[in-house]
Every structure is written in structure tokens, then in C-alpha cells.
Chains A and B, each alone.
Chain A
């Protein structure tokens, strides 16, 4: 566990937001502190704070400068950030079904070639991983996961694709992703899931929360099609495990 907590950097993002930066890198300990500050802030209900956006290494705190000024909020955040990191309560664990390779994961073979192994081994490594939602961003439901096994880490594609399919499961650098909507991406596409991390007119609209634990399971193409149909009708096809 973290023994001494270094103070975060408090960076102005204009006159209505503060970036509380715990690290410049992708860093699991920093992400734990980001999520802890996010929880503390939610619990404290600081007047004037309107929303908080966790990322790998920082918490962006939006606020209303009519209600609280930069100096006052900075002091408050600095104090909260130095509290010991409380263990997350109610950690949820999701198992997300993935159809790997072929038309569903067009980069699987290339990734295997680059890492000098077989596609089956890449799938085994990906499924073996124990992931956590480090942040959600870019487009609705796009979940960035920490915990990618070291033997799957490789640089992003040189040429990002302008469009990758909804439900794409991909890896890039030290990150793994569960993508909801079709979007541009420079990551390597391993497969697809029928799970919608964002779906209007469903309760909940957003399935994953920052801090949730995630693992993957293998399904075949036929199962994917069935799950996709069920998910489209509003069913949550991810499995919620007790943790």
C-alpha cells in the first residue's frame, strides 16, 4: 500500500475547473488515489462543485466560480487528496463476453505475429487479465481499463482507423478498452462484445463505473449474435459477479 502520499499538482483548467494531477504517467497507484478523491468529493458535497471526471492520473473537478473560488477549492482538494486512500466499498466485478478474432477482431492475427505467438495465446493472455475501469471518456461509455498483462503491451497503431465498430474490445500501449459506440481508434482490435456500456432507455444508462473490476470470457460468433439481439432489446448481457 501507499505509505507516504505526495501532494498532487493542482492545475487550473480555465476559471471553472481544476485538474488534480497525481501523476504524469499511467500509474495504478495514482489511479487509486484519483478514484479515492472522487469518492471523498462525492461524500463531502462541496458547495459549488458541479461534477468530477476521473482519468488514469488526474481528477478534473468542474465547479461554479460564482459559488467557490480557485484558492478555496484548491485548498479543500489538497486536503482531501492527502487523506489515506480508503478501500473502495461495493466494488463490482463484471464478466464481459467477447467474440475474438476474424471479422470481429481484425487485428488479432497481427498482434499475435508482432508478439511472436498464436492468436489463441493472445486470447488466453487477454482473458487471463484482471482489469479495473480506470476511466471512461472520449465517447459515451468508452471504458479505459488498467491491468493489461505485460505480455500484451505493444505500441498503438501508426495509422489510427477513422471508424471502429461498436462494442470493440481493443488494446493500445498499456491500456485495454471496452468501446461502446463506433468511433475512431488507434488501438489494436481483438474482438467485439454485445455488451452496451451506454444505452439510452435502459436502467442503468451507463453500465460501468470508474473503479469497477472487469474480466473477459470467450464466446463464439453464434452466441455473440444472440447476445447482441438481447442487448439491443435492453438486456444486460454482462455478468455481474459477487466480489
Chain B
């Protein structure tokens, strides 16, 4: 059995899939990938089931080495510099690491999370149908914690299949994050206007449980204590200090702060990728629009295999490499002139 060895890795990197379902009534949160579309795209490229477990890589750099055989991987999500033992590699493509070769990734650019799927998936012991790491509950396999240098992920040997790329619809970088108001927007009165009209930034103290927002203070009409009720991915709760927190994949299953609005399903992954410190707006949509978008998103996910194309003459096909930068704003992976190494300070503000 081949294995992928983690040579270096930053914080906030863990094995994730579509998460655990059915045990929220016992307080067990879903977990799962922050950006489901990027996870599914990586798995498609690697020839896996859409929501097989893959490596979610946080904002910092990372390096992975194939051992005991070749390993085929695919990289999606936030753009980064990538090379395999010196030869350039691109986001949005599959690639094969020969035994002993190392894939080296730089800092995330224009996003927070990238996904590295491994052909054949990650061998582990599912709990509640998932390998996803939930460190608080001691869940996740092969390691019930974020990944560390030296960890080894056993996997199938590379099939030798031709490499492939995937084209995803370009998401407008500045499109607002759409929300459905409620369930407790009636606790805020006119402050809902302020919430929708203001520019927000994600605080650097955010993590997989919640993204703290920086912006104007959102005042409650009747105080900030409500009786605990259930939460979902994208619940925007407003604690006593009036600074909203968007609940993310590792959220608690219930919470006692009023929730002004909820990020819609189709925008959740795009929201998760907004780098700390970058301004954005929310926009309210009605339920019919939100659900139409959710259905469209489901279709997009399940039609991803149709978007996979072979890369011929991978090393020579510059155009394919350009195209393969799925994030519209990403610089070319092969043009050294446009490479920018983020400063350490910039990288820190991107830590979720």
C-alpha cells in the first residue's frame, strides 16, 4: 500500500469529508469540509466518490511526500504556489507523485482552504459514517486531530491514469454573501438594515467553529440571552457585544444567542473562503430564491464529473495550466514573475 506522508503542514489542516449526520440530537456536530464544492471537485479529479475524505489544508504552506509507491492526488480550493520536486503544478488538476517525490504548497491566496484528494481515498475507520476530524469529540480517522508533520495516510497505489483538470464556474470575488433572514431577526428591529447595509470583515480569531465578524455593533431589542435552540452551518448569531459570529462546520449544535440570519447553502463554501480582513457584504434573499440556489448548487455538485477534462502533454500545455487556475483572480502557477509570497503578517491574518 502506498502512503502519503505529511512532510510539513500548518495549523487548521485536517482530514474532512461531508461530515456526520444524524447525531446532532446528541450534541455531535456535523464537521466536514468548509468548502464542499472544492472538496467534491478534488475528489472528482482523483476519481473518488464526490464526498470521500480528503485533506483540508489551512492558509499556511504544506508539503506531502509519496512513499512505498506512487500516489496520485488532486488539488482544488484556494490558490497556492505548487510544485512537485521542482516542476510546477496547478490548482484544479490531478497530479502523480512518484515514490519519494514531494508536492510543496505555498500560502493560500485569495482564499483560506485548499483540498488535496488522494486517488483511492484515505484509509481509515469511519465513525458515524465519516472520517472527518472533530478534535473536541475525539473523532476523526486515521488521526482524531488536525494533521501534523510526520503523519502518514495509507492509500491505494496510483492507477497511472492520465492527469485531468476541472473547470469550475467562476465565482465573482465581490458578489455579496446571500442570507435568509431569521430565525430570530425579530430580536433586532432596525439593526437588520445596518447588518445588511454594512461592510463586514472576518476577524483573524476565527476558526472552524465560527467566523467572528468585524463591523458595526448590532444592537438587540430585548437583550442577548435567548433560550438555547438549534443551529445550522451559516447561522449568524449575535452575542452581547453586538459583533456577529457565523457558525461554521465545527459549531455547537445549539446556542443561546439570537440568530439574525443564515448564510444560504450555495454560498457557505464561498463565505468560508473569504480571507480574514477582506471586506464583504451580506444580501438578503427570500426562501424561494435560496432554495432555487440550493437546488442549482446540488446540480452543480453532481454534474462535476462532466467538467473533468484530460490534460494532454501536461508538462508542456501552458494554456491548460493557465485555465486550471480555478480561482479567477489567481496568478498563473507557472509564471515566476507573478508569484507573490505573502508576508508572515499577511499569512497570520489568514489563519482561520
Across-interface contacts of A200 in B (CB, < 8 A): 127, 138-139
B137–A139 touching, CB < 8 Å: yes
How distant is the Cα of A193 from the Cα of B26 in the complex, in angstroms? 18
Q: How far is the CB of A144 from chain B (nearest CB, A)?
A: 7
A137 touches B252 (CB 8 A): yes
Among A21, A52, A136, the one with the most B-chain Cβ atoms within 10 Å of its Cβ is A136
Is A116 among interface residues, defined by CB-CB distance under 8 A?
A: no
The answer to whether A53 touches B183, judged by C-beta atoms less than 8 angstroms apart, is: no
Is A13 engaged at the interface, CB distance under 8 Å to the other chain?
A: yes
Within 8 A of A (CB), among B5-36: 21-28
- Decide if B234 is an interface residue (CB 8 Å cutoff): yes
Residues of A within 8 A of B (CB): 11-17, 19, 21, 23-26, 38, 50-60, 62, 65-66, 69-71, 135-142, 144, 181, 198, 200, 205-206, 210
Chain B residues within 8 Å of A60, by CB: 229-232
A144 touching B228, Cβ below 8 Å: yes
The answer to whether A206 and B26 touch (CB under 8 A), given A12-B262, A14-B264, A135-B228, is yes
Q: How far is the CA of A204 from the CA of B233 in the complex (A)?
A: 27
User: What would 13 A/B residue contacts be, using CB atoms closer than 8 Å?
Assistant: A12-B180, A13-B182, A14-B234, A14-B262, A14-B290, A15-B293, A19-B183, A51-B21, A55-B228, A62-B232, A136-B27, A144-B228, A181-B137
- The total of chain B residues at the interface (CB under 8 A) is 44
- C-alpha gap A71/B125 in the complex (Å): 39
Closest B residue to A27 using CB positions = B227
19 more contacts with CB within 8 A, not counting A14-B180, A136-B26, are A11-B184, A12-B262, A14-B265, A15-B287, A25-B227, A51-B21, A51-B22, A51-B23, A53-B230, A53-B254, A60-B230, A65-B265, A66-B298, A136-B27, A137-B253, A139-B136, A198-B26, A198-B28, A206-B26
Return the chain A residue nearest B128 by Cβ: A205
Asked whether any CB of chain A lies closer than 8 Å to the CB of B226, the reply is yes
* Residues in chain B within 8 A of chain A (CB atoms): 21-28, 127, 136-139, 180-184, 226-235, 252-255, 259, 262-265, 287, 290-291, 293-295, 298
Residues of A within 8 A of B252 (CB): 137-139
- B137, A15: Cβ atoms under 8 Å? no
Taking each of A16, A135, A137, A200, which has the highest tally of chain B beta carbons within 10 Å of its own beta carbon? A137
Instruction: Check if B254 sits within 8 Å of A12, measured CB to CB.
Output: no
A138 x B229 contact (CB < 8 A):
no
Q: Assuming A15-B287, A139-B137, is B23 touching A24 (CB within 8 A)?
A: no
- A13 with B262, Cβ < 8 A, contacts A60-B229, A200-B138 known: yes
Residues of A within 8 A of B180 (CB): 12, 14-15
Shortest Cβ distance from residue B174 to the other chain A in the assembled complex, whole angstroms: 22
Closest 4 CB pairs of A and B: A60-B230, A137-B254, A14-B262, A11-B183
Chain B residues contacting A138 (CB-CB under 8 Å) are 27, 228, 252-255
Residues of A within 8 A of B183 (CB): 11-13, 19, 21
A17 touches B232 (CB 8 A): yes
Instruction: Give the nearest-CB partner of B252 in chain A.
Output: A138
